[in-house]
Structures are given as C-alpha cells and as structure tokens.
C-alpha cells in the first residue's frame, strides 16, 4: 500500500505527477526519473512504483532494476542515475537542513529538533524537497500543516 500525502490530493487520483513516495524511492535507489518518462507509464505501472517496497538492500536493488527496465522498455534509453554517495538528509533525525529552516522561517514558523526527530523519513524527505529553490513551494505550507508542525 502506497503512502500519499494530503497536499498531493490534486494529482494522486490520476498520478499525473510523481508523488513523494515514488520520489523518495527513486532517490533511495539512485534514479532520476523524468516527468515525461513517468507520464509514458500506464496507471498500473505508476501504482506499482508507488507501492513496491524499497527499504532493504535487496528491495532497493529490485526497485532500481524494475525502474530501469520499465524506462528502457518505454523510451529505449535507461533512466539517468543520481550521483553516488549523495547524503540522504532525510535519514538524519538530528539536523534540520538549512533550506527547511529558511522556508519555515518565511512562514514565521520554527521546526524544533524534537519535531524533526519525530517525523518519518518520508515526511522529512518531503519537507526537504518542498523547501528547495526552484521547486513549486506552494505545498510546503500544506505539508507543514499536514505534519502538524504549525
């Protein structure tokens, strides 16, 4: 069963955009998936990527292999890979990334270390992604409210 956030409700039914759970798994396995490649997938494939496990080493390898095969089948080219050894900040329960703190401050909020620690890795991942410059940040306040950080 896939975890979707309420702030994604406007596209979860159609899965026209890549939901956070899939983005989380893609970052975990080191794959950069283009939105155009995502949109070439049928709904069943999108749901599979959302619900397929990607936690243990063997699951991460299986997920990566599945995504690469799917993209290769659809496009004739493998998906791009993310740089190796990229820190997975969302797994760090102790340090709130500066972009998250800055974005929260723009909303006159302060995320405490205790609040950050209590978030799931997926929730921390979402806040990190939503706080990056160049990202559509309208969902950051929605995520803050959904995660009860306001």
pLDDT at residue 49, rounded to an integer = 97
Question: If you ran DSSP here, which 8-state letter would residue 91 be given?
Answer: G
Q: How far is CA 75 from the centre of its chain?
A: 23
Torsion of CA 14, 20, 26, 27, to 10 degrees: 160
Report the C-alpha gap between 23 and 122 in whole angstroms. 10
Binned at pLDDT 50, 70 and 90, residue 145 comes out as: very high
Q: What is the mean pLDDT of residues 2-10?
A: 89
DSSP E strand stretches across the chain: 31-32, 80-81
Residue 109: other Cβ atoms inside 10 A: 14
Q: Which three-class secondary structure state does DSSP give residue 31?
A: strand
pLDDT, one tens digit per residue, over 60-98 is 999 999 999 999 999 999 999 998 777 789 999 999 999
Binned at pLDDT 50, 70 and 90, residue 2 comes out as: confident
pLDDT at residue 136, rounded to an integer = 61
Please state, rounded to an integer, the average pLDDT across all residues of the chain.
92
Rounded to two decimals, the pTM is 0.91
13 or 92: whose pLDDT is higher? Answer: 92
């Amino acid at each position: 069963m896939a975890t979707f956030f309420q702030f994604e409700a406007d596209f979860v039914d159609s899965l026209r955009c890549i939901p956070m759970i899939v983005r989380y798994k893609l970052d975990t396995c080191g794959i950069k998936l283009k939105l155009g490649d995502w949109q070439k997938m049928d709904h069943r494939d999108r749901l599979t990527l959302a619900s397929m496990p990607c936690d243990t080493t063997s699951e991460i390898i299986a997920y990566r292999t599945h995504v690469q095969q799917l993209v290769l089948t659809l496009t004739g080219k493998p998906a791009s890979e993310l740089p190796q050894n990229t820190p997975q900040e969302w797994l760090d329960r102790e340090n709130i990334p500066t972009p998250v703190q800055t974005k929260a401050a723009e909303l006159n909020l302060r995320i405490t270390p205790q609040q950050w620690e209590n978030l799931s890795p997926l929730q921390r991942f979402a806040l990190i992604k939503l706080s990056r410059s160049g990202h559509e940040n309208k969902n950051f306040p929605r995520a803050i409210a959904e995660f009860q950080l306001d």
